[in-house]
Amino acid sequence: MKNLTVLRLLICLIMAGLAGTVSAADTIAVPRGSRAFDIMPFVLPWTGTSNPAALSETSFGNISLAQAGYTSSDDDIRMIQQPVQYSSYQAATRGFMKLGKVSLFGSFGYSNSGYKGVNYNGTMMFDTYNPYLVGDSVSARQTREQFGMEGKLSYTVNDRINVAVGAEYISAVGARQKDPRNKNTISMLRVTPGITYDLGKTKVGLSGSVYTTSNEMSYRVEGNWNQNLFVFLGLGYFRQEINISSYSQWYVGNGYAGALQASREGDDLYMIAEISYDHYTEEARSGSSFRLIDGITETNDISLSGMLRIERGQAFHILTVKGSLKAVSGDEILQRSYKINAGTYSYDSLATVSWIENKQMITDLGGEVKYTRIVYDSDFNIDLEFGGALLASYYSTEHFPVQSYGFYNTFNLGGSLFARKLLKTSRLLITPGLEAGYRMNIGYDISYIIQPLSIPAMVYHDYYVAKANIISASASVRIEMPLSQNKFVKSLFLIPQGRYAAAPGSEAGDLSGYMIDVVAGLTF
């Protein structure tokens, strides 16, 4: 296993590491150094879409980056099944390369993370719409080690057509060293083909993907006592696995997605838009050989994104729009396995006690409009960047029949302002940045019917957090040293940043949270 990990690392480093200087063939230059990766979706907009054929749309030369970092957070403004504290060490490398008609992108990432204060969740699925999570009430540290790889290859067929394929793979292992102790083996594989067609001033593209996910979880008790587990059914309702010494659950998912892209280019104006659809089905399975289905979650996601860029000399006005609608439905299933004796032999049989479709329903609707102004200096560094954003979100969760179980919904509006300014010294490029935001609730409703097997405090905590008024502020500084005389390393950089948020006077209490992140690396 260690040899395989080393081999993966070497392959990705070779793929991502063959780089030279940044040379943009388009009218807008890609900034040198680490900022090239941040600004690329603005100056080379097709690279911000899900279409891997976008690699052939521009000729910005070869550029690579390697970095390592540390993240730490402590947050009360969270859902009840999410961790209170989070820390992670990460390392990553990624890069672009062009060989004739072939354009390549490769990346490799590693992280070692720890979570504290996790209740009712042993799956390590902290950002999920699946209501059928398994967990316990023992708060203890969980750890997770993860490797991730991504590669894209695009080929220029002729002056008009580019075809491409991309692949992404994630493998992770997690565990908790306290009874009842959970172990998680997690993986994801996605394959994405794509094509673009150039009509001159107009370009169109089509891409799609198929993917599969797996999270095999096993609980085990090493002490001389048994434990109870919660098998959640949505909105705080549950059934229990009582006095277990071991328990296994498997979350297996399959999905497919498709997207259309189109762009239009004028003299000083550029427009691009992408509309996509994603369908994902995940089953929660248990029992011998995971034959028993405990629940099926189906997610349909429709999203739209667009950008308008206006060029005014060394300055750019950029307007971006994003919107998405996620609709989740959960089938609640109860199955039993029993043994049948037939004379000289016996066999196991499966019985479905109940199968209730659309028992749990979730709607998540959100949108954002953002304005950014970017000003280059004479060396094509980003001298000034500022702007603001407006966002709206609506969230609703229902457990049917609502007359017997209940629902809640929230409607929030928010806004933010940000600014970054370049300061030069003899050897360093220093870019401090500030951002402030506020989210306010303008609508909410709840009706919750307490059942014998329900945790009302769990639901009301999530509801209070979802509708809390939140104020936030963040600060960052990017310190970069260009090394123009070095033939391999082009720059060194350090990026510390921090974020603080507070929800004073919420019905869940005076909530607050912070995040600290530090990244150091080099471009080559």
**Per-residue pLDDT reduced to its tens digit, 430-439:** 999 999 999 9
DSSP conformational letter for 314: T
Q: Residue 33 — pLDDT band, cuts 50, 70, 90?
A: confident
Question: Residue 288: what pLDDT?
Answer: 81
Per-residue pLDDT, averaged over 350-375, amounts to 96
Q: Specify the DSSP element, H or E, that contains 362.
A: strand 345-376
Q: Has residue 134 got a pLDDT over 50?
A: yes
CA quadruple 385, 437, 516, 148: dihedral, nearest 10: -70
CB 138 within 8 A of CB 177: no
As a whole number of angstroms, the distance between CA 44 and CA 272 comes to 11
Task: Please state which of the ranges 144-148, 221-225, 244-248 shows the lowest mean pLDDT.
Answer: 221-225
Residues 122-141: what's their mean pLDDT? 91
Residues 473 and 468: their CA atoms lie apart, in Å, by 16
Structure tokens at 455: 């945790």
Which residue reads 């402030």 in tokens?
436
**What is the rounded CA–CA span in Å between residue 42 and residue 75?**
32
* List of residues 6+ apart from 44 with CB closer than 8 A: 24, 26, 28, 30, 57, 58, 60
Global pTM reads 0.90
Report the pLDDT averaged over residues 334-341: 84
Residue type for position 203:
K
Residue 442, SS3? strand
Total structural domains in the chain?
1
Task: Give helix then strand counts, H and E, for the chain.
Answer: 3, 22
Mean of the per-residue pLDDT values of the chain: 91
CA–CA separation, 302 and 299 (whole Å): 10
* DSSP H or E run through 3: helix 2-17
**Phi and psi dihedrals of 76, rounded to 5?**
-90, -15
**What pLDDT score does 239 carry?**
93
Lowest mean pLDDT among 3-17, 134-148, 229-243, 264-278: 3-17
- Give 441 or 32, the one with higher predicted confidence: 441
Range of the structural domain that residue 498 is part of: 2-523
Identify the band that residue 39 occupies on the pLDDT scale cut at 50, 70 and 90. Answer: confident
Say what the pLDDT of residue 32 is: 75
Tell me what the mean pLDDT of segment 112-121 comes to: 95
Spatial CA neighbour of 87 closest among 521, 384, 514, 487: 514
pLDDT in tens, 68-81: 999 999 999 999 99
For residue 417, the model assigns a pLDDT of 98
Show Cβ contacts of residue 197 under 8 Å, excluding neighbours closer than 6 positions: 160, 161, 203, 204, 205
Helix or strand holding residue 484 (H, E): none
Average the pLDDT over each of 45-59, 110-124, 207-221 and give the range with the smallest value. 45-59
Return the closest-CA partner of residue 42 out of 275, 315, 267.
315
The whole-number pLDDT of residue 252 equals: 97
**Do 237 and 332 form a contact (C-beta atoms < 8 A)?**
no
Residues 359 and 375: their CA atoms lie apart, in Å, by: 52
Please tell me the number of Cα atoms within 13 Å of 227 on its side-chain side: 20
112-126 b/e (C-beta count within 10 Å ≥ 16 → b): ebbbebbbbbbbbbe
Q: What's the angle, vertex CA 314, arms to CA 432 and CA 371, rounded to 5?
A: 60
- Averaged pLDDT for residues 175-190: 95
Residue of 225 and 521 predicted with greater confidence: 521
- Report how far residue 138's alpha carbon sits from residue 227's, in angstroms, rounded to the nearest whole number: 10
The pLDDT confidence band at residue 3, using thresholds 50, 70 and 90, is: very low
pLDDT digits (tens, 9 = 90+) for 406-428: 999 999 999 999 999 999 998 99
Residue 241, Ramachandran bin (φ over 0: left; ψ between -120 and 50: alpha; else beta): beta
Q: What is the DSSP letter of 454?
A: B
With 80 as the cut, is the pLDDT of residue 7 above it? no
Q: Distance between CA 273 and CA 304 in Å, rounded?
A: 7
Residue 60 pLDDT: 66
